Amino acid sequence: MNWQREFTRPLMGRCTGHSAALVQLLCDRAEDHPDLARHLLAGLDDLQRACDLDMTGTPEPAIIQK
């Protein structure tokens, strides 16, 4: 299965404009599922590393090496 085609793009298309509601739903579910909570926190860490801010505050992509 092509994960990008089957899951990621449809999810992003559906949550556009509703991102706050999606985040709230994920947080609610994460309260009952510790594994989901750990994955969400890891994703936030990846996002923070990827958005390296320059002096003007404009996000710039950064290459994350694992």
pLDDT digit string (tens) for 7-66?
Answer: 777 777 877 778 888 888 888 999 899 999 999 888 888 877 787 645 455 556 566 666
The reported pTM is 0.56
Q: Strand, coil or helix: what is 40? A: helix
> How many degrees, rounded to 5, is the angle at CA 62 between CA 57 and CA 66?
140
For the chain, the three-class secondary structure string (H helix, E strand, C coil) is CCHHHHHHHHHHHHHCCCHHHHHHHHHHHHHHCHHHHHHHHHHHHHHHHHEEECCCCCEEECCCCC
